[in-house]
């Protein structure tokens, strides 16, 4: 990391570096995220499809852009992997994204947002910007296909990071579960059920299904406390070795 490019006293820079340390010291099997080496306000991520849904076993890549005012303004998100729930390379409208700054809380983090995004995957789209409403069997096909290769996006350096995140996630991901015909023919929930699923989601974190609720609340409290109290002292370890460095793959 070229730290000389950034003012380490800047609150946004300090917070982002703190979140980077948190991602390395407390990794999750459900997601992986890293800032670009040349721009810490832009992150690449991959999430694992939520268990017990048509996304189960899938690996879904995306891009996060953090505003200069982060964490006081929300990030924007786009997915890069075809998934049947969100359009690719389109900023998606969620209550954790820049489309709804009124819902964002500074105590939330990149990690918090990824936990919420996973929870949103099986919810009803209800016509939201950037949403898709594929049938469950189509989404299962995409979940299988998502494991084959990482999406192609951006510069060679960015693509190298995407590919390495993919290999790290793939090494930890379970296989896509087999679905019987009855499950495959299930319809999407009706409008009233979809609205109940999606009501408030992360706009009020308590609306998220467990265990996302407690994780978001605990994560938000811990990260904001550390961002305020911990000194900034990041060693320049290369992002490219992160998967091996963590010992998690």
CA angle centred on 50, ends 130 and 110, rounded to 5°: 65
* pLDDT over 70 percentage in the chain: 70
Give the pLDDT band of residue 246 (cuts 50, 70, 90).
very low
Burial class (CB in 10 A: 0-12, 13-18, 19+), 177: middle
Do the beta carbons of residue 50 and residue 122 sit within 8 Å? Answer: yes
Give SS3 for 76. Answer: strand
Domains of the chain: 3-246 (3.10.110.10)
- 106-116: average pLDDT: 93
pLDDT digits (tens, 9 = 90+) for 144-180: 999 999 999 999 999 999 999 999 999 988 777 776 5
- 93 is known as an active-site residue: yes
Given 93, 168, 243, 249, the catalytic residue: 93
Give the pLDDT band of residue 204 (cuts 50, 70, 90).
very low
CB within 8 A of 127, min separation 6: which ones? none
pLDDT at 126: 81
């Amino acid at each position: 990391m070229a730290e000389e490019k950034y003012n380490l006293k800047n609150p946004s820079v300090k917070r982002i570096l703190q979140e980077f340390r948190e991602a390395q010291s407390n990794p999750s099997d459900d997601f992986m995220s890293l800032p670009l080496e040349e721009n810490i306000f832009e992150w690449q991520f991959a999430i694992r499809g939520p268990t017990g849904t048509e996304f189960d076993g899938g690996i879904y890549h995306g891009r996060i852009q953090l505003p200069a005012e982060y964490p006081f303004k929300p990030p924007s998100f786009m997915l890069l992997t075809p998934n049947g729930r969100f359009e690719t390379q389109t900023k998606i409208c969620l209550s954790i994204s820049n489309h709804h700054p009124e819902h964002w809380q500074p105590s939330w983090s990149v990690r918090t947002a990824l936990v919420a995004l996973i929870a949103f995957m099986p919810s009803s789209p209800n016509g939201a910007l950037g949403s898709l409403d594929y049938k469950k069997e189509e989404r299962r096909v995409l979940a299988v296909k998502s494991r084959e290769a990482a999406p192609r996006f951006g510069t060679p350096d960015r693509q190298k990071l995407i590919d390495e995140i993919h290999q790290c996630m793939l090494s930890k991901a379970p296989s896509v579960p087999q679905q019987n015909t009855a499950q495959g023919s299930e319809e999407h929930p009706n409008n009233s059920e979809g609205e109940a699923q999606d009501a408030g989601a992360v706009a009020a974190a308590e609306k998220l299904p467990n265990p996302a609720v407690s994780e978001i609340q605990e994560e938000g409290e811990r990260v904001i406390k550390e961002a305020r109290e911990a000194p900034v002292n990041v060693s320049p370890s290369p992002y490219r070795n992160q998967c091996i460095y963590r010992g998690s793959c």
